[in-house]
Chain A
Amino acid sequence: MCGIVGYIGFRKADQVVISSLKRLEYRGYDSWGIAVKHNNKIMLVKRVGAISEDKMHEMAEGNIGIGHTRWATHGKPSEFNAHPHTDCSGEIAVVHNGIISNFQSLKEELEKKGHKFKSETDTEVISHLIEEFYRGDLKDAVSKTIDVLRGSYAIVVMHARKEELVAVRYKSPLVLGIGDEEWIIASDVPAILDYTSRVIYLEDGDVVSLTKEGFEIWKGNERVERKIETIPWSIEDAEKGGYDHFMLKEIHETPRVIEDTLFEYISEGVDIDVSFSAGISEIIFIACGTSYHASLVGKYLIEKLTGIPARVEFASEFIYNQPPMSRSLVISITQSGETADTLEAMRIAKKHGARVLAIVNVLGSTATRIADHVLYTRAGPEISVAATKSFIAQLVILYLIALKLSRLSRSEIERLAEELRVMPELVRKVLEQEGKIEQIAGKLAGYENMMYIGRGIGVPIAMEGALKMKEISYIHAEAYPAGELKHGPFALLGKNTPVIASLVPDETYEIMLSNIKEVKARESLVIAVADEHDSEIEKYVDFVIRVPKTDSIFTAITHSVALQLLAYYTARERGCEIDKPRNLAKSVTVE
């Protein structure tokens, strides 16, 4: 995810673009850059780091400008790789949000024609392509360029000798703000609201030409009209996309995150590069917190689908309790790539000769430099301390690894990959249950203790569900394998301890049902997460959260999203802070 901005009007463009980029910082903050037109020249500033930490830049006078705040996907964060990117002449400047999937082949063609590239980014091909097509009409050159681009993109383009901005939207967000004799175009509404609350949400394929006289929107060769809408929210609301908390916004971004992560690693078949697995005899997962629970799901999948032995260690314990490692693959999972315990465990593992694969969300983070191999989740920046969408993205990567390494038949792998492809749709269906989940949360909010239970893959689901509940609602929530209840925790159950049961439609289903009956006999309030077609369960429990049917291995996604919502609404009912729970930090950089 990145944020882009374009401005044309009567104000100083540098000031507008910088202040608007600050509003988009939640979309990425590893580097930024702006371009302003001044006397038929393009003036550029690019910096590594967060724009909010930079002092206000004063650039040359100019009323036309573009800018970009970056969350690196191709090429590490550096001034070279920061946008805007220019063509060979330095007269065309481009900012881009999205991924150009065919950029390698385009780049090779352009290099053959003599174009010189200055960065490692996919974006730079756009500026060179526009240069190639430019015959004096910027909109025309941009239209020809998008005909050859594949992937997703929102682009804003300026030309040193044109009083014009041209922008395109295709599968990446772009909003046009209509001010009074000024126009601002950006990835999201917060960047616009300082100047106007009247916007047009552009549609895929829309090409916008902005001049000081006004704007035109084209689709192909036809001029189109788009509805002007008025944004009723404040800037603070808008950064949360109209949601009350970042956590809720991020849960709702999950379908998009799954799509983006799949888009990166799956095309015809699963084409994730698993060369890191050559010759290994075992897999050791090391992680902390939510990533630890993703690892437990990973272990389940690896052992079930591939037969490779796997175990999971807390990174903070791995340091003291170093297991013997020979021909071991260590998979370390960390959203930030900066978790101190995980980094230390990775270093130790390397010292012992293990091969280290990191699954990370933040490009260029420390973990990516220690690891031998890196796989990125495409979750985008996560603001809420409680991890939600990044957890699901980690699961998606683990599914892909397990499928790629699996010994299942080709047709079986294809069936499961197909199931994974429809996962964004299934998650959307879970999100539709929001109102129901909110009601159930209302019943839970008064309790101080809870028990989460499951079997098989249901155990890590329960553990992650309980972690979400405790970290944001401050309710003491424990997770237990359902079969272990009778060895102690049963003593805790009763009227004052609700039980949340993850019911997976596999070989554990029948025995879970009898466990639930045992729990119900202790008068606990029981809430089950179960398949939408399950008509049996409602006879035994107080409330059922329905999730759409999928292969049992994928319930880790559907159930977890439901339990995230349950934790969110319970915390909200209790009046908790949610995005910044007490005593907790987003990225734990101390041991």
Chain B
Amino acid sequence: MKILVCIKQVPGSSNVEVDPVTGVLKRDGVQSKMNPYDLYALELALSLCEKYGGSVETITMGPPQAKAIIEESVCMGAKSGTVLSDRKFAGADVLATAYTIAQGLKKIGDFDLIICGKQTTDGDTAQVGSEVSEYLGIPNISNVLSVDEVTKEGMTLTASLDNKVVTMKAEFPCLISAEGDINSPRLPSYKVKKTLTEDAVKFLSMNDFDDKDEKHYGLSGSATQVERIFPPEKNTEKTSFDGTAEQQTESLFSLICDRKLI
């Protein structure tokens, strides 16, 4: 089974400043890491390969330094990976990002299964995976909790809907988005890191794609425009209850009801 995992480099900490003028995240000098949700996708892919055989590759779109997360994925067990990198890709919204990844995917080869993380911790849209599948014309299943059985033709998997869990079958090729927290991602190996070679990471730019029309990429290929980015307000409100355990439970329950949380 050939599996491809889509990954993204995101800021290493949640305390990232927003440039008040441009509304863009200030990434300079901020450490970066692989999107935590993608780690679950990668672990799912690697454990499927261990069980059923096959190989895992990774793909990302980003600046040249995004190479670091491809290398990290190799240290975790992926065979190799590709960075889609071109100044023309800058400023892409979800649609343009998905289109770029789909174009890149077509160049890399055929895969039985593409796995994405649920969402990223910087963009948080949770849409890229589904849009990639749309561009590729393959089925998409989101919020996957587990892959229960794999055959030559397809697999049985369990996915979470808002209020129920469903089991379904999908034929290859298909794209799934893994839920967060469904496994414990393995750690990158220093031993592998030491032996990394140049050919572990490939770079592709727009000129390598079938579609070389730059209007389809980056800011100009984006259907949406970001008006403003701002950090969420911090809620520092605290409530504490006194009294017996029963009284405290009662107070907590009525507060939750008042706020219409249940």
Q: Do A and B bind each other?
A: no
Which residues of A line the B interface, CB within 8 A?
A: none
Instruction: Please report B residues at the A interface, Cβ cutoff 8 Å.
Output: none
